[in-house]
């Protein structure tokens, strides 16, 4: 479907400009620096709470200690809140594609609601959410 390809292509472009240096060109991760996004997010994107986690990490960033696929990472992912809502949706579509999923994991209403949350979720709250949604 053409409508789904456009956001995915735009998301790939944004990913290449903002995310690849840490997460790798294909989202494969960089040992010791940043976890893989291709593969481990598939089950996460299948659940509403998991999609909400991914969206909030995009919006607010994430810092501190996390474990992904048996590797420990301690670092900081910068917030991407300066991206437009459409760009965040496109990045979500690209992440879904990297994980073998079609479509867009979140829509404009979800992005707007996440942006409007007050208080903004702390990185500790996001790590706690991660512990619940990551396999």
- Closest by CA position to 83, among listed 118, 131, 115, 122: 115
Predicted pLDDT at 1: 37
Q: Which helix (H) or strand (E) holds 77?
A: strand 71-77
Q: What is the phi/psi pair of residue 13, to 5°?
A: -65, -45
Task: Using the predicted structure, report yes or no on whether residue 100 has a pLDDT greater than 70.
Answer: yes
Mean pLDDT along residues 38-42 = 95
- Give the span between the Cα atoms of 130 and 24, in whole angstroms: 21
**Per-position DSSP letters for 18-56, written without gaps between them:** HTHHHH-TTS--BTTTB---TTTTHHHHTSHHHHHHHHH
pLDDT of residue 4: 45
Is residue 90 a contact partner of residue 8, using CB atoms and an 8 Å limit? yes
Q: Is the model's pLDDT at 5 over the cut of 70?
A: no
What totals of helices (H) and strands (E) does the chain contain, helices first? 7, 2
Distance CA(128)–CA(11), nearest Å, equals 27
pLDDT tens across 109-133, in order? 999 999 999 999 999 999 999 999 9
Provide the pLDDT for residue 2: 39
Per-residue model confidence (pLDDT) at position 40? 95
pLDDT above 80 (res 14): yes
CATH code at 2-133: 1.10.760.10
d(CA 10, CA 83): 12
């Amino acid at each position: 479907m053409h409508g789904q390809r456009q956001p995915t292509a735009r998301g790939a472009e944004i990913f290449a400009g903002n995310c690849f240096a840490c997460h790798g060109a294909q989202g494969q991760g960089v040992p010791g620096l940043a976890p893989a996004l291709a593969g481990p997010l598939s089950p996460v994107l299948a659940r509403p709470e998991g999609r909400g986690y991914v969206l909030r990490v995009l919006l607010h960033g994430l810092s501190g200690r996390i474990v992904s696929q048996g590797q420990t990472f301690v670092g900081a992912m910068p917030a991407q809140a300066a991206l437009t809502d459409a760009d965040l949706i496109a990045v979500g579509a690209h992440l879904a594609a990297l994980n073998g999923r079609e479509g867009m994991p979140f829509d404009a209403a979800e992005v707007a609601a996440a942006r409007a949350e007050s208080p903004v979720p702390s990185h500790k709250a996001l790590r706690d959410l991660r512990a619940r949604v990551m396999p």
